[in-house]
């Protein structure tokens, strides 16, 4: 098996994934990394079958990683076959309203993040600022003040010794401190280790529609604690998101309508990028199929049989990860083994569309996305059902939606669309289901301060085939990242190579909806807005997302912070810290 990696892929693997000795010297090759992962993840096969079966699956796992057809989430690549062996990416931890519980959660977060995981929290159970504390006679400082403790702790923890941790902070719209939470990131640089989302229900959105008031609820006992105008709160949300990129919205009723285990509780938080809604103490491991490797030899048609075969191997791989992984604390192990959630998704969607000569900004792109994810979802469910026959249903199956529907499955969830930032660089393709950010751009201040320069290879190829010089065209587009002002490029190619900031919000949401229709977890997707977008454009995006039945939405207006990872080539003066879902992606 021959491994072909881009220069940037090699840099990422060397910086983040290859093993080092105590002197910091790399002691592992790229091929040995994938072999290490395949060997570790195939070990559970010995529990369910023969040594011959285990060797066969090991070879299958190794082949699909080496061929860059499928890659698991970063903790699996980093830790499989090591003493750490924590292989999951996504966690949600509870925070209850006592000092002991709050600092227990900080400790648990540290244990998760040092092993490579990202953490999500609902701060909705914490009493509001100014509330009386009977045990001390003092007054509570509120959830936002405690968020700062989590933020500072994360700043001093590197995931797996390789990267800074990431968090999702969630607050219910009816919490008395909701306005303070909404504006928590208004000061540049505040809470830079957090994505923030407001948890809203349909009743809140209807109150926004009708221009009415809604009740705030005290988190300790649910009693009424004042009223706010829903429209004014919604305005604070979208104006602050326009300014800073946060908060996003999580639609509580939609998420919980598709909660497979409602008998275990209501979902109130997600992982840092929003694609995995989780109950308290749950974790989930992810893997993504490289769609550019799912085309036939002519690269003009999708090879559906190959896609289905890769799904079969991917689901088995991820189910094995649950068994071979070690968990930071006992509560996480119990919930993870109880529900056995996995999240199989895709990357390279934009590159696949280009190879198929389909514009991202088109109905055909949405139709293709829906068709691809339908195949992935249906085959993943079939595989999980077969694994349930061989290995048993997930332990919390009794009382679940699956039991009520007569569906015996191994995994409570099977699919998710993750951001795939680092692994898409390794795979040499575009991240997740995102459009091209730009045709030429840079990832600034990553991998210990380095900057990675990227030019889309399919763009270079298309320029050559049109008799144009890709180097010369590339120099001309460094400032804008797009072909808009390059007259000699045919209009057809300008459509095919449209970039994120050229694509209308409704098209971004249409793609998200197409995939969400066949995803049982959720979809991490950034709704990109140009720098000159207005706050009402954010309001329109949020409103459309709810009406379209999405589970959540994240927007980012380009340049709204001095800190962003993805930059056009001539804007290197911007500092780089997280600005959207992209902040968790490398």
Sequence-ordered list of residues with C-beta below 8 angstroms from that of 550, at least 6 positions apart, any chain: 251, 254, 509, 512, 513, 516, 523
Instruction: Using alpha carbons, list the distances in angstroms from residue 323 to 89, 177, 468, 564, 575.
Output: 15, 41, 52, 37, 41
What percent helix, strand, coil does the chain show, rounded to 5?
A: 45, 15, 40
Distance CA 105, CA 109 (A): 6
Sheet holding 440-446, edge to edge: 450-455, 440-446, 566-568
Length of the chain measured in residues: 586
- Residue 310 in 3-state DSSP? helix
Q: Is 275 assigned a catalytic role?
A: yes
Sequence-ordered list of residues with C-beta below 8 angstroms from that of 52, at least 6 positions apart, any chain: none
Maximum CA pair distance of the chain? 78
The answer to whether residues 249 and 500 touch, using CB atoms and an 8 Å cutoff, is: no
The answer to whether residues 61 and 42 touch, using CB atoms and an 8 Å cutoff, is: yes
Q: Is 100 assigned a catalytic role?
A: no
Q: How far is CA 204 from the centre of its chain?
A: 26
Q: How far is CA 132 from the centre of its chain?
A: 38
- The pair phi, psi for residue 532, each rounded to 5°, is -90, 10
Q: For the residues of 553-566, what is the DSSP string, one character each?
A: EEEEETTSSSB-SE
Among residues 90, 273, 284, 581, the one annotated as catalytic is: 273
Sequence-ordered list of residues with C-beta below 8 angstroms from that of 287, at least 6 positions apart, any chain: 70, 71, 72, 73, 76, 314, 317, 318, 342, 343, 344, 345
Among residues 69, 275, 434, 569, the one annotated as catalytic is: 275
Locate 412 and state its tokens: 């409570």
For 66, other C-beta atoms within 10 Å of its C-beta total 17
Rg (CA), the chain: 23
Locate 166 and state its tokens: 């990431």
Residue listed under structure tokens 């293709």: 368
> If we measure between CA atoms, which residue out of 11, 59, 9 comes closest to residue 34?
59
Locate 158 and state its tokens: 């590197």
Locate 396 and state its tokens: 């919390």
Burial class (CB in 10 A: 0-12, 13-18, 19+), 511: buried
Beta strands 194-200; 167-172: pairing state:
parallel
Among residues 271, 290, 339, 521, the one annotated as catalytic is: 271
H-helix or E-strand containing 224?
strand 224-229
Locate 394 and state its tokens: 């997930």
Locate 54 and state its tokens: 């285990």
Q: Is 273 assigned a catalytic role?
A: yes
H-helix or E-strand containing 374?
helix 363-391
The answer to whether residues 535 and 242 touch, using CB atoms and an 8 Å cutoff, is: yes
Q: Which residues are catalytic?
A: 271, 273, 275
């Amino acid at each position: 098996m021959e491994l072909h990696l881009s220069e940037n892929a090699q840099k990422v693997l060397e910086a983040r994934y290859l093993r080092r000795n105590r002197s910091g010297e790399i002691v592992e090759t790229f091929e040995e990394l994938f072999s290490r992962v395949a060997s570790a993840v195939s070990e559970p096969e010995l529990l369910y079958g023969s040594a011959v079966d285990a060797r066969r699956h090991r070879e299958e796992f190794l082949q699909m990683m080496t061929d860059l057809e499928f890659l698991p989430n970063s903790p699996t690549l980093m830790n499989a076959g090591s003493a750490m062996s924590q292989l999951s990416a996504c966690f949600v931890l509870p925070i209850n309203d006592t000092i002991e519980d709050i600092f227990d959660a900080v400790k648990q977060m540290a244990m998760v993040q040092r092993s490579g995981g990202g953490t999500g929290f609902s701060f909705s159970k914490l009493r509001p600022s100014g509330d009386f504390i009977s045990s001390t006679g003092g007054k509570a400082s509120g959830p936002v003040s405690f968020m700062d403790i989590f933020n500072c702790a994360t700043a001093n923890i590197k995931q797996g010794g390789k990267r800074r941790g990431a968090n999702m902070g969630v607050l219910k719209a009816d919490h008395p401190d909701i306005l303070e939470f909404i504006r928590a990131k208004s000061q540049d640089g505040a809470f830079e280790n957090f994505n923030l989302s407001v948890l809203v229900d349909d009743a809140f959105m209807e109150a926004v529609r009708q221009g009415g008031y809604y009740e705030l609820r005290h988190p300790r006992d649910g009693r009424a604690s004042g009223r706010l105008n829903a429209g004014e709160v919604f305005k604070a949300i979208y104006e602050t998101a326009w300014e800073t990129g946060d908060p996003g919205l999580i639609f509580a009723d939609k998420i919980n309508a598709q909660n497979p285990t409602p008998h275990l509780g209501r979902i109130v938080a997600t992982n840092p990028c929003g694609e995995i809604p989780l109950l308290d103490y749950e974790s989930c491991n992810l893997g993504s199929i490289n769609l550019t490797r799912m085309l036939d030899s002519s690269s003009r048609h999708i090879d559906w049989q190959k896609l289905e075969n890769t799904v079969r191997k991917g689901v088995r791989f991820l189910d094995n990860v649950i068994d071979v992984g070690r968990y930071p604390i006992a509560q996480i192990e119990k919930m993870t083994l109880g529900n056995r959630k996995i999240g199989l998704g895709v990357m390279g969607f934009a590159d696949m569309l280009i190879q198929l000569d389909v514009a991202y900004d088109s109905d055909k792109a949405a139709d293709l996305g829906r068709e691809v994810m339908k195949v992935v979802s249906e085959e993943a469910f079939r595989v999980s059902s077969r694994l349930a026959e061989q290995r048993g249903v997930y332990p919390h199956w009794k009382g679940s939606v699956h039991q009520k529907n007569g569906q015996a499955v191994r995994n409570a969830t099977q699919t998710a669309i993750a951001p795939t930032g680092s692994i898409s660089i390794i795979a040499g393709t575009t991240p997740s289901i995102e459009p091209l950010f730009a045709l030429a751009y840079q990832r600034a201040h990553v991998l210990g301060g380095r900057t990675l320069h990227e030019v889309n290879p399919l763009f270079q190829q298309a320029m050559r085939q049109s008799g144009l010089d890709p180097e010369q065209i590339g120099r001309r587009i460094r400032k804008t990242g797009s072909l808009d002002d390059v007259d000699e490029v045919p209009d057809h190619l300008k459509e095919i190579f449209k970039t994120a900031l050229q694509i209308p919000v409704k098209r971004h949401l249409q793609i998200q909806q197409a995939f969400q229709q066949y995803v049982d977890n959720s979809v991490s997707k950034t709704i990109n807005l140009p720098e000159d977008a207005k706050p009402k454009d954010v309001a329109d995006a949020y409103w459309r997302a709810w009406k379209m039945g999405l589970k959540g939405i994240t927007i980012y207006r380009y340049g709204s912070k001095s800190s962003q990872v993805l930059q056009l080539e001539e804007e290197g003066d911007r500092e780089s810290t997280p600005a959207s879902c992209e902040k968790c992606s490398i």
